[in-house]
Structure 1
Amino acid sequence: MEKQLTKPLQRSMLRAKAGMVYYGMKRRLLWVRMKKQFAHEFQNPLPYVIFKHQTPLLRELKDVEMQYQYNKIINLKLAVKKINGIVIHPHEVFSYWQLIGKPTRRKGYVDGMILDHGHFCYGIGGGLCQLSNLIFWMSIHTPLTIIERHRHGYDVFPDANRTQPFGSGATCFYPHGDLMIRNDTDQDYQLNVEVGETMLIGSWRALAPLDVSYTIIEKNHEMKAETWGYSRHNELYRQVYDLDGQLLHEEFLLSNHAMMMYSPYLEYEKNAQS
């Protein structure tokens, strides 16, 4: 695993905007070329739950106004309406942004929290990464194939109350930072998501149950001191088990490399001073 991480360069506002236009055009051309491959059919829930997961809607975060967390729920409800019940037939592709579209005020989206180079700010449609994170985590517990996923380049929060391995999510930024999932199996898969009272709830469903199960594990985790701060690295692997709980095989999924926005020794230093 390559563990060298260079600090991102600060680009000018003009260059950043030009990049957005360029990569936005490339994305739209890709959508045109792939139009016939995209999943577009919605159905009532299929009978078998393949994997389900939920994440809390509200978290108290330091220096973040709770109003923007409530705004995030508004944004999630709008986005969920565009994808809940979508069926991916064999050889079809699920595209997060192709289905949801651009979040705008005209559509009802409001300012929510977003991360920009590791720092909090607010923008239209903020908070939708919680939905892409959920979908990605569920998808790697199925036979579906991830053909596009973008990792978070910054590790913003310490591991307190973390229930999933570091780097097990997928960030999204319209339109060129997409999450795309292809169905390379011989049966239909359906994505179901809903915004509950306290949780964002999701599941992948199918016409028949699986004869295997999946467990995601972390390997080669490391935090490194760089000249500019700290970096964090790991690899995620998927273990495949039969219905008797016997390990069939293990496969590499992805590697993560991120800039840490906090000191890894913060908790140790705090305890040492008390």
Structure 2
Amino acid sequence: MGRALGEESFTDFNLQDLRRAHGDRLVTHQFTREEEAGNGADWEWWFHADGHGFGMRVQAKKAHKDGRYVLRRYTRSSMGRVLQSDRLVEDAAASGCLPFYVFYNHRNWTAAGDELAPADCDHTLADQRQMGCTLVSALVVQRAIVERMYGSSDHVKRHSIPWNRVLCDSTVPDVGSLNAVFDRVRALHRDGVLDLRQARERPEVYSYAVSRAEGVGRREPLAVPPDYGAPPPDLTDRPVYRAFGGLSDGPVRALPARVRQMISGDPVDPPDSRLAGAVLVDLADH
């Protein structure tokens, strides 16, 4: 109709459908947030039962017409431009959550293997429409950005799963319990950790020069590519990533006070100005 919908609109549609289908188990809490370029609908999911649970800080990203994602996005800050993925990771660590991306996809997208494909569950048969919303660790996205990876969209797709698989994975015993959901989410997070550990930071090795004589572009090398025979540095050893070890190891923890306040309906301020809202999913055995 002349203007493509943004991530915020798709997120609102999804939340509306989820509230309609699961209003007895799901509470949404929307914050008044600053309209910041490239925000991309930052929200938190909290899965909880009996005062315990875990959180996911989520960045929404829609696919372009050709199925690609624009992963290298920047947001404004007092220090200048900051990569959207870096800000997501930093905000997740500060708010006690694991960082993830949700991708909004076209119907022609297919999974890379059976493990990532649509699957039967107690609610529905396997359906290609399940690929419309997929989930991946933000650390997988960061590897693609750090390496300036050719085919970065294909790379993150290979690590993504339909988001309903977090709650409906028929291969996991006791599929609907809080512990089973946590195991599935932290398996995705650990996959991201392993992927980022393979990342090789590299400088720009080419610039684009235009030949006035021929009127065509020409690639000219500016620097020597790094030694790809050397082992990559462990980027996950940085403090911001070490913080996630305490969140992903061991059993689920007691909920933070601000999450308990949201569950009870009390007013609460968001941990930062970029958080658009929170989705609270009750997994207690009713």
TM bracket, shorter-chain basis = under 0.3
Structure of higher RCO (CA pairs closer than 8 Å, 6+ residues apart):
2
| TM-score, normalising length: structure 2 | 0.25
Bigger helix share: 2
| Greater strand content | 1
TM-score in terms of structure 1 length:
0.26
